[in-house]
Chains A and B, each alone.
Chain A
Amino acid sequence: MNTRTIEKLSILADAAKYDVSCSSSGSKRKNENGGLGNASGMGICHAYTEDGRCVSLLKILLTNHCIYDCAYCISRKSNDVRRAAFTIDEVVDLTISFYRRNYIEGLFLSSGIFKNADYTMERLVKIAQKLRTEHRFNGYIHLKAIPGASEDLLHQAGLYADRLSMNIEMPTSEGLALLAPDKKREDMVQPMKYLKKAIAENIDSKSASNRSRLFLPAGQSTQMVVGATKETDWDVLGIATEFYQKMKLKRVYYSGYVPVSNDKRLPSVGTPVPFIRENRLYQADWLLRFYGFRVGELLSPATPQLEMEIDPKLSWALKNMQVFPVDINSADYQLLIKVPGLGLESARKICTARRFGRLNWEHLKKMGVMINKVRYFLICDKDYERKDWQPEQIRSFILNGGASKYKAAFSAQLQLF
């Protein structure tokens, strides 16, 4: 490492930052060899950038040279940007030096495609291998699976990495064909299928013998860009559900498109990043994974977009008022978590606390529940004066009661433009 490394780092970190995943949790890799690092605990965010995103991993590209020309990508072949490439040792050194100083949880390595898929993948694998074997590194390693890489290389990657991810890039095949004519959805889905099988086989074989061998303990994830093409939230969440169910993915990330190109096929440079939509998609994603909702309950082909003004759970509740009010002292957990304003943690607390006696609003308030939101959907011992509010009234009470951090974005002023 030397001062030239600083320059390379600035180029190759800058090019990697559009990949939003930074998760370092979910692995089971313990420091059992007296070496460096431990990835068995929960993930840790060591810093936060000024855009408020977590910095958990050293997220870099091996190189930003690329043979492809995907319109949405800053490293596309036709883009006039500074190019650089790390050597294998540079990446290993950087990772170890940063990890020893407690800057990071590990490495997230991706790369532009140089020469071909296998040539690139082979180098990514070599870096992971070197970290694990020569440096006895037990920190977190997330490698990007290169579309079209051979199964043999994917398998090797799985032996050293904690997570592999293959980005689907665009929510629809049409979007992909439009913006990334060199890439095929099939080349992305095939490796996912292979890895899903390999992970399952490894778990099966573990019970028989060879207990200590890990194979992608933190599973697979993917990412798609939203707001670059004309896909709907129904499309986006539909494909996400498919990935969760059929491919057993651990996470699907949604990345609001940051305009990096003057290409006519894309929103022009200067178009605002669709933050709110991205946020609503993540909220919906959580509802699907942890709150027992199905996509069909939140959206339909007739209403294919999430509401921007209110969160998806509230939106669902206002359309399904027949479910409410729910009795705080008797409703079961599965129903409680569907109440707007109640999270998994408050629902759990309510369920344990009411075994000791009946709960009232005062108890809820002290537990940190947002009374102003839940009061329209719950009944307690000493009830608020109940009126037959219409959903539209409840919506406006809640909207006017709390200051949404997005409020400015809905002001009439903006509509003038």
Chain B
Amino acid sequence: MKQVVYDGSFAGLLTAIFEVYEYKLKDVTLCREGDFSPALFEKHHVVYTNEQKAKRVMAKLNSKMSTAALSQFYRCFLAELSEMDNCLLRYAKYTVSSKNSVENNYRNPDVLLVQQISRKVYREKHRMEAFVRFKLTGDGLYYSVIQPDYNVLPLILKHFRERYADQRWLIYDVRRKYGIHYDGSSLEEVSIDFGSSSQASIVEERSSVLDEKEELCQQLWQQYFSSVNIPERKNMKLHIRHMPKRYWRYLTEKMA
């Protein structure tokens, strides 16, 4: 067994797939740099991300599958699950070796897994589009802190840019320590190093004081949330299924 180590970027993954063919690597396990620990008596192959190679793999996949399947592939990468990279490698090889598209062959375990995991990532993306709660600072920035299960920031950018075209905003992923800032015309990735202390609270401190209306708005929202509830219909099981508890700490209406 040979470990193939890449830098954890999407282009890196595609480069790795390219090199599996290029060097005719057999019996490989893909591994992200951060997770890599050299095993005794085993060789490993280090991949240096190469845009040209990545592009060629992308073009090949593009010619063999639909756009929808290609975005499924990308979403699975964003799941950051260790077994997933190897599944994606097998899926890519299966795709390349087949004459026609195999994306709907749910009899194949890799195709089925890609379909299932990409769906989970999609759900997380959709949840984040729902659960982002902006707070307004005194200098007019709407900021939000999130902690998604998967790396969905790259997937939600378009949604927020189209929706909030006329306001400045920042969405920060505390788990992955980076965020996206929109200044009213363009998007920019920002990474803020907070050191070791609690990150959410530092975002609060660093951003200038909250806008004077912010607290009232939050109270109004909390009031609304409790007023629309119909106590006669109480169903906490359903409530928690739709709004799992791990998201509550960032939801304004659950902080009251």
Give residues in A with beta carbon < 8 Å to B: 1-3, 5-6, 9-10, 13-14, 16-18, 30-31, 34-38, 41, 44-55, 58-59, 94, 97-98, 100-103, 136, 258, 273, 275, 349, 352-353, 355-357, 359, 363, 366-367
A51 touching B235, Cβ below 8 Å: yes
Query: How distant is B170 from chain A, measured CB to nearest CB, in Å?
Result: 13
Number of B residues near A (Cβ < 8 Å) is: 54
Known: A1-B213, A17-B228. A103 touches B167 (CB 8 A): no
Query: How distant is B95 from chain A, measured CB to nearest CB, in Å?
Result: 13
Give residues in B with beta carbon < 8 Å to A: 102, 104-109, 112, 126, 129-136, 142, 144, 159, 162-167, 213, 216-217, 219-221, 223-225, 227-239, 241-243, 251-253
Q: Please, how many angstroms separate the alpha-carbon atoms of A369 and B112 in the complex?
A: 13
A36 touching B166, Cβ below 8 Å: yes
B144 touching A363, Cβ below 8 Å: no
Known: A48-B242, A275-B233. A367 touches B142 (CB 8 A): no
- Measured CB to CB, the nearest residue on chain B to A30 is B162
Q: Counting chain A CB atoms within 10 Å of each CB, which of B130, B159, B167, B219 scores highest?
A: B130
Question: Could you pull out 23 A-B pairs where Cβ atoms are within 8 angstroms?
Answer: A6-B223, A13-B228, A31-B163, A38-B163, A41-B159, A44-B130, A45-B130, A46-B131, A48-B239, A51-B235, A53-B228, A59-B228, A98-B217, A98-B220, A98-B221, A98-B224, A101-B142, A101-B221, A103-B133, A357-B105, A359-B107, A367-B106, A367-B112
Chain B residue numbers with a CB within 8 Å of A47 are: 130, 225, 243, 251, 253
- Measured CB to CB, the nearest residue on chain A to B219 is A6
A103 touching B107, Cβ below 8 Å: no
Query: How distant is A84 from chain B, measured CB to nearest CB, in Å?
Result: 12
Task: Select B216's contact among A3, A52, A275, beta carbons within 8 Å.
Answer: A3
Q: Please, how many angstroms separate the alpha-carbon atoms of A54 and B238 in the complex?
A: 10
Chain A residue numbers with a CB within 8 Å of B238 are: 48, 51-52
A9 touching B227, Cβ below 8 Å: yes
Query: How distant is A129 from chain B, measured CB to nearest CB, in Å?
Result: 19
B216 touching A36, Cβ below 8 Å: no
A258 touching B216, Cβ below 8 Å: no
Chain A residue numbers with a CB within 8 Å of B239 are: 48-52
Q: Please, how many angstroms separate the alpha-carbon atoms of A353 and B229 in the complex?
A: 43
Chain A residue numbers with a CB within 8 Å of B237 are: 52
Q: Please, how many angstroms separate the alpha-carbon atoms of A10 and B225 in the complex?
A: 9
Q: Please, how many angstroms separate the alpha-carbon atoms of A328 and B242 in the complex?
A: 33
Q: Please, how many angstroms separate the alpha-carbon atoms of A352 and B68 in the complex?
A: 15
B220 touching A6, Cβ below 8 Å: yes
Known: A47-B225, A47-B243. A31 touches B162 (CB 8 A): yes
Q: Please, how many angstroms separate the alpha-carbon atoms of A59 and B112 in the complex?
A: 40
Query: How distant is A268 from chain B, measured CB to nearest CB, in Å?
Result: 13
| Given A34-B166, A41-B159, A49-B228, 10 additional A-B pairs, CB 8 A | A1-B216, A13-B224, A14-B228, A51-B229, A53-B233, A98-B224, A101-B133, A275-B233, A353-B107, A366-B106
A100 touching B242, Cβ below 8 Å: no
Task: Select A9's contact among B131, B144, B162, B224, beta carbons within 8 Å.
Answer: B224
